[in-house]
Amino acid sequence: MARLDLRHVRIHGHDVGYRMGGEGPAILLIHGMAGSSRTWREVLPLLARDYTVIAPDLLGHGESAKPVGDYSLGAFASGLRDFLSVLEVERMTVVGQSLGGGVAMQLAYQHPEICERLVLVGSGGLGREVSWILRALTMPGAELLMPILFPSFVGDLGNQVSRFLHRKGWRAPHLAETWRAYVSLTESEKRDAFMRTLRSVIDSRGQSVSARDRLYLAASLPTLIVWGDEDDIIPVAHAYEAHKAIPDSRLEIFEGAGHFVHVQEPQRFAEILIDFIKTTKPGTIGSTGYREILRAHSRKSA
């Protein structure tokens, strides 16, 4: 099965890496923190049979530039809007995993006119709870320990071991994806971008950015929520709570899966996503419609 090669485009003076292929309605795939477009490598060719798939490396991640700047959800969302404009992609189904889920919700909130559907995969921004490791890394001075916690020689050695095990037929997708995130943090530029991103959404007590008070806005978009019931980064309870809060949303729980369901079960993930797209009508609400929803909710809450 062919893979989609990495390309580059320059936006606002910064290189943005991305993978794109296929024909048909567009699907935007947004990776998580310390990840890259490579996380979708098994899913991309499955979707590209009938859809145009676009998987960017967010700024500070993967092969995209890592400038000193704003790494908030709003900045990522605005950057994706500009990226899609350059590629001349006007509307799409937006899929976000982990941090990418928070970015996807922000994109739908800031730019509803370009979003046809919303898919949240082990998404951030739906509750306070998050892995203690991520909370610990937000503590003052943690960045000074990062070079010790993530030395480059460990990444090099681990990659050699990983390649050896892969040649021997050993497979553990969840561990492999976690390892790739670890290895990315052995590079100083990526560590700096990671810390800025991390502290924009998480503090010592948990996730500091939440979309829960705005989930009623998602009622205007067909929404799919996908989660692993053994997610040790963001608890599956967030999936059930979001499902209750978003009218007519669809919930899919992968039993035995962790934080990277799309990596552990790419075939099933792609089938569920394709079925969701085929059985729902694209959301058509624009900025005017969002204003009407906001005003109506404001009157109801008064």
Q: What is the 3-state secondary structure (H, E, C) of the chain?
A: CCCCCEEEEEECCEEEEEEEECCCCEEEEECCCCCCHHHHCCCHHHHCCCCEEEEECCCCCCCCCCCCCCCCHHHHHHHHHHHHHHCCCCCEEEEEECHHHHHHHHHHHHCHHHEEEEEEECCCCCCCCCCHHHHHCCCCCHHHHHHHHCCHHHHHHHHHHHHHHHHCCCCCHHHHHHHHHHHHCCCHHHHHHHHHHHHHHEECCEECCCCHHHHHHHHHCCEEEEEECCCCCCCCHHHHHHHHHCCCCEEEEECCCCCCHHHHCHHHHHHHHHHHHHCCCCCCCCHHHHHHHHHHHHHHHC
More confident residue, 184 or 152: 184
For residue 162, name the pLDDT band (cuts at 50, 70, 90). very low
For residue 286, name the pLDDT band (cuts at 50, 70, 90). low
For residue 142, name the pLDDT band (cuts at 50, 70, 90). confident
For residue 161, name the pLDDT band (cuts at 50, 70, 90). very low
Residue 160 pLDDT > 50, yes or no?
Answer: no
More confident residue, 31 or 184: 31
Average pLDDT over the chain, rounded to an integer: 87
Encode 224-244: b = buried (16+ Cβ within 10 Å), e = exposed.
bbbbbeebebbbbebbebbbe
Q: Which CATH class is domain 6-130+206-301?
A: alpha beta
Q: Residues 56-112: pLDDT tens digits?
A: 999 999 999 999 989 999 999 999 999 999 999 999 999 999 999 999 999 998 898
Q: Is the CB of residue 90 less than 8 Å from the CB of residue 282?
A: no
In 3D space, the residue among 211, 258, 210, 208 whose CA is nearest the CA of residue 233 turns out to be: 258
**Active site (annotated) includes residue 78:** no
- Give me the catalytic one of 98, 184, 220, 249: 98
- Give me the catalytic one of 231, 238, 249, 262: 231
For residue 152, name the pLDDT band (cuts at 50, 70, 90). low
pLDDT > 90 fraction of the chain, expressed in percent and rounded: 67
- Which single residue is written with the structure tokens 């089938």? 271
Residue 118 pLDDT > 80, yes or no?
Answer: yes
Position 187: which residue type? Answer: E
- Give me the catalytic one of 61, 243, 259, 262: 259
Residue 180 pLDDT > 50, yes or no?
Answer: yes
For residue 175, name the pLDDT band (cuts at 50, 70, 90). low
Residue 129 pLDDT > 60, yes or no?
Answer: yes
Q: Residues 253-280: pLDDT tens digits?
A: 999 999 999 999 999 999 999 999 999 9
More confident residue, 287 or 200: 200
**Active site (annotated) includes residue 98:** yes
The pair of structure tokens assigned to 38 is 């490579």
Residue 186 pLDDT > 50, yes or no?
Answer: yes
pLDDT on residue 9: 97
For the chain, the residue count is 302
**Active site (annotated) includes residue 162:** no
